[in-house]
């Protein structure tokens, strides 16, 4: 009999070979205790967290925690139902209102995860005979949204404005066009030239969707993302985001000013055919989002952290994903998976957690040590982090 799992054999072998070198499994780490947004206990050791996307450090905010506990007491542990049946509580409407206030838009729709937000919106709004034109480095949730729908999918080279424009111009007359972009690309931490790309898309009659998962709360005057920072948020038709990064819990959303937006609640399958978020989760999200509106000082400190880490790593001799820090993600480029895993292991032994990222998640087959900073990392911690990188880098021969 044909074993359906034989297609995974190459990956199983690669994984065994990697673990046989003696490194800790980078994809099986357990956080035994979490002390704060920046510190956890892993393998009994106090570990600085530098790979959590917890950009604004809201996970232990006292007001956020209190809101969650109150909702747990008053509304119970879960809704056990879909948003369109028994799963919409006051808290779900309250978090959607918080999003509308945060982004200053007319409509907000909350999904159970950020992945489902992209999956649902993209697969629903682009139908047969429509064209989705997307950056080749788009997140898996965007590709999966494309695969779930039946539009024509046309990728273009990463951040290439001219490549986008050429494809827009070639779409057959009369076909619908959806351009899908991200504010911050999470692998290398680089941002998109949204000002130019949104202008080109609009000039060619396209609808524009921007995923601001890694920029919300941090980038832009009000923390609305890269489109706000580049002055084009008014021309973006749909913004997708998540509660699992700056907001500090779990969930996803889409905000829009489209006049017919609310119909999506009835036709978007990843919204309809799943249970809604627990009351405690939407309560923590709403509280966190409202606090993020007024977090200019934290945003400024996060930028300082990002600049300091970027400059420090470069000075040590590491190769980084961007020449200048463009977001709160700093990607350290490793020569190969083996070296990357050894470096990751050495950092963990020093007491530092970063993300080990490898293909197919990464572009161009790269292995990355991806660092994401938090507004609550102190100046002292960033110094400690640089010391750990220096020691681990020398021990593994990544730097001299």
- Residue 368 CB, nearest approach to other proteins (Å): 16
What six digits make up the tokens of 188? 């290398």
What's the CA dihedral at 179, 185, 191, 196 to 10 degrees? -10
- Determine, following the binding rule CB under 8 A, whether residue 399 of this chain makes contact with other proteins: no
- Residue 389 CB, nearest approach to other proteins (Å): 29
Stretch 66-105: interaction string toward other proteins, x if CB under 8 A: ----------------------------------------
- CB closer to other proteins, 167 vs 290: 167
Please select the residue that binds other proteins; options are 58, 109, 171, 369, rule is CB under 8 A. 171
Using CA atoms, how far apart are residues 233 and 26, in angstroms rounded to an integer? 38
- Residue 365 CB, nearest approach to other proteins (Å): 7
Stretch that binds other proteins, among 148-156, 191-199, 311-319, 325-333 (CB under 8 A): 148-156
Please, which residues bridge with residue 49 across strands? 353
- Determine, following the binding rule CB under 8 A, whether residue 127 of this chain makes contact with other proteins: no
- Residue 154 CB, nearest approach to other proteins (Å): 5
- CB closer to other proteins, 149 vs 241: 149
Stretch that binds other proteins, among 13-21, 46-54, 78-86, 149-157 (CB under 8 A): 149-157
Please select the residue that binds other proteins; options are 157, 205, 317, 378, rule is CB under 8 A. 157
- Interaction with other proteins in 281-300: which residues (CB under 8 A)? none
- Determine, following the binding rule CB under 8 A, whether residue 136 of this chain makes contact with other proteins: yes
Q: How would you label 176-205 residue by residue, b for 16+ Cβ within 10 Å and e otherwise?
A: bbbbbbbbbbbbbbbbbbbbbbbbbbbebe
- Residue 163 CB, nearest approach to other proteins (Å): 7
Using CA atoms, how far apart are residues 377 and 381, in angstroms rounded to an integer? 6
Stretch that binds other proteins, among 62-70, 104-112, 145-153, 179-187 (CB under 8 A): 145-153
Please select the residue that binds other proteins; options are 55, 156, 253, 344, rule is CB under 8 A. 156
- CB closer to other proteins, 167 vs 214: 167
CA distances from 193 to 56, 226, 353 (A): 24, 9, 31
Please select the residue that binds other proteins; options are 154, 275, 386, 395, rule is CB under 8 A. 154
Stretch that binds other proteins, among 24-32, 70-78, 167-175, 339-347 (CB under 8 A): 167-175
Task: Count CB atoms within 10 A of the CB of residue 254.
Answer: 27
Please, which residues bridge with residue 134 across strands? 155, 180
Beta strands of the chain (E only): which ranges? 31-36, 39-42, 45-49, 107-111, 131-135, 152-156, 177-182, 184-185, 190-191, 207-211, 238-242, 252-256, 329-334, 352-353, 355-357, 367-372
Please select the residue that binds other proteins; options are 166, 231, 336, 379, rule is CB under 8 A. 166
- CB closer to other proteins, 138 vs 276: 138
Using CA atoms, how far apart are residues 397 and 215, in angstroms rounded to an integer? 34
- Determine, following the binding rule CB under 8 A, whether residue 153 of this chain makes contact with other proteins: yes
CA distances from 366 to 300, 337, 394 (A): 31, 8, 21
- CB closer to other proteins, 70 vs 158: 158
Using CA atoms, how far apart are residues 361 and 137, in angstroms rounded to an integer? 9
How many chain residues touch other proteins (CB under 8 A)?
Answer: 17
Q: How would you label 98-117 residue by residue, b for 16+ Cβ within 10 Å and e otherwise?
A: bbeebbebebbbbbbbbbbb
Task: Count CB atoms within 10 A of the CB of residue 44.
Answer: 8
- Determine, following the binding rule CB under 8 A, whether residue 336 of this chain makes contact with other proteins: no
Using CA atoms, how far apart are residues 178 and 136, in angstroms rounded to an integer? 15
- CB closer to other proteins, 162 vs 262: 162
- Determine, following the binding rule CB under 8 A, whether residue 155 of this chain makes contact with other proteins: yes
Cβ(315)–Cβ(10) below 8 Å:
no
- CB closer to other proteins, 98 vs 200: 200
- Determine, following the binding rule CB under 8 A, whether residue 161 of this chain makes contact with other proteins: no
- Interaction with other proteins in 346-385: which residues (CB under 8 A)? 363-365
Which residues would be at the binding site for other proteins (CB under 8 A)? 131, 136, 146, 152-157, 163, 166-167, 170-171, 363-365
């Amino acid at each position: 009999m044909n074993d359906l799992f034989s297609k995974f054999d190459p990956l199983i072998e690669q994984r065994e070979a990697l673990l046989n070198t003696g490194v800790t499994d980078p994809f099986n780490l357990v956080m035994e205790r979490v002390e704060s947004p920046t510190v956890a206990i892993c393998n009994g050791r106090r570990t600085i967290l530098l790979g959590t996307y917890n950009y604004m450090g809201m996970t232990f905010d006292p007001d956020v925690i209190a809101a969650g506990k109150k909702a747990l007491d008053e509304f119970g542990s879960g809704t056990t139902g879909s948003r369109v049946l028994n799963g919409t509580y006051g808290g779900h409407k309250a978090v959607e209102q918080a999003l509308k206030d945060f982004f200053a838009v007319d409509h907000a729709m909350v999904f159970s995860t950020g992945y489902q937000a992209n999956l649902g919106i993209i697969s629903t709004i682009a139908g047969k005979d429509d064209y989705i034109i997307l950056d080749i480095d788009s997140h898996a949730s965007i590709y999966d949204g494309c695969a779930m729908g039946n539009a024509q999918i046309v990728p273009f080279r990463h951040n290439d404005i001219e490549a986008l424009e050429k494809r827009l111009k070639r779409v057959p007359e009369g076909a619908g066009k959806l351009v899908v972009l991200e504010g911050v690309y999470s692998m290398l931490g680089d941002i998109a030239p949204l000002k130019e790309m949104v202008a080109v898309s609009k000039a060619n009659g396209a609808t524009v969707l921007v995923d601001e998962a890694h920029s919300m709360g941090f980038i832009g005057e009000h923390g609305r993302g890269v489109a706000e920072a580049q002055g084009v948020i008014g021309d973006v038709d749909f913004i997708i985001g998540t509660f699992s990064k700056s907001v500090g819990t779990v969930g996803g959303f889409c905000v829009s000013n489209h006049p017919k937006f609310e119909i999506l609640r009835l036709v978007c399958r990843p919204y309809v055919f799943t249970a809604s978020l627990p009351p405690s989760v939407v309560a923590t999200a709403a509280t966190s989002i409202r606090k993020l509106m007024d977090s200019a000082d934290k945003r400024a400190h996060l930028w300082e952290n990002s600049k300091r880490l970027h400059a420090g790593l470069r000075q040590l001799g590491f190769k980084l994903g961007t020449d200048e820090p463009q977001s709160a993600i700093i990607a350290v480029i490793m020569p190969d998976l083996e070296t990357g895993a050894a470096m990751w292991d050495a950092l963990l032994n020093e007491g530092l957690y970063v993300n080990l990222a490898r293909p197919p998640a990464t572009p161009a087959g790269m292995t990355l040590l991806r660092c994401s900073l938090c507004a609550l990392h102190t100046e002292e911690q960033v110094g400690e982090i640089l010391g750990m990188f220096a020691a681990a880098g020398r021990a593994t021969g990544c730097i001299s």
